[in-house]
Structure 1
Amino acid sequence: MLESRENYLEAILMLKQELGQVRSIDIARKLNYSKPSVSRAVGILKKGGYILVDAKGYISLTSEGLKKAESIYERHRTLTSLFVQIAGVPEHVAEEDACRCEHVLSAQTFQGIKMFLNENGIC
């Protein structure tokens, strides 16, 4: 899956947790994207079976979308912890870097990072 699509799914998950309901405008604000860009992405994610959009424009994740969003969000949280607690990076920098890295790490490397953090009581 493309990084941008993963970012949308993660944003939808986070907004659902924060707001309870998610609309395209909420995504546009959170990601600082234009409304047309979000509209296009929503169409792609809907066609791909990752989200549903009801008659009022509220967006929800399908089971497959939720699984993918939770996976990306777990990577984001874990990498942020690694960067802050091990590398001593300020949290805002760690958040930005985690957002970029979460999409390119192999499953094997991510599992190794998780094991290291868990074994050392960090995450």
Structure 2
Amino acid sequence: MYESGENYLETILILENENGSVRSIDIAKTLKFSKPSVSHAVGLLKESGYINVDGKGYINLTDMRREKAESIYERHQLLTIFLIETAKVCEDIAEKDACRIEHIISDETFQGIKKFLKK
């Protein structure tokens, strides 16, 4: 899956956890993307089996893809903490950089960072 798709899954998970339900408009507002762009991406995610969309337009992650979204979100959270604590950068920069790093970091390196933070 590409970075953009992972960002959508992560955003859907976060919005679902915060609000209990998610619609395309919620994703568009959060990501600051146009409604047509989000509609297209939602269609692709639905076709690929990542999400379900009910008759009222509410979006839910499929069970299998929820695990993927949770993994991406965990990476984002821990990388943000790691950058704040070790690189001493402000939270805003740490958030932005973690969002980029979470998609390319190897599992081995991530597990090492995770172990480091547990100490």
Query: Under a length normalisation based on structure 1, what TM-score does the superposition of the two structures give?
Result: 0.95
1:91 maps to 2:76: no
- The alignment's C-alpha RMSD in Å is 0.6
Match of 1:7 in 2: 7
Spell out the pairing of 1:1-123 with structure 2 (5 A cutoff).
1-118=1-118, 120=119
Range with bigger deviation, 53-62 or 83-92: 83-92
Point out 4+ residue stretches in structure 1 off by more than 6 angstroms: none
What's the secondary structure of 1:56's corresponding residue?
coil
Query: Under a length normalisation based on structure 2, what TM-score does the superposition of the two structures give?
Result: 0.98
1:71-117 C-alpha deviation (Å, 9 max, x unpaired): 00000000000011111110011001000100000111111111111
What's the secondary structure of 2:88's corresponding residue?
coil
Aligned counterparts of 1:48 and 1:85: Cα–Cα separation in 2: 38
What's the secondary structure of 2:105's corresponding residue?
coil
Aligned counterparts of 2:46 and 2:67: Cα–Cα separation in 1: 15
On the 8 A contact 1:49/1:64 being kept in 2, the answer is no
Q: What 5-or-longer segments of structure 1 have no aligned partner?
A: none
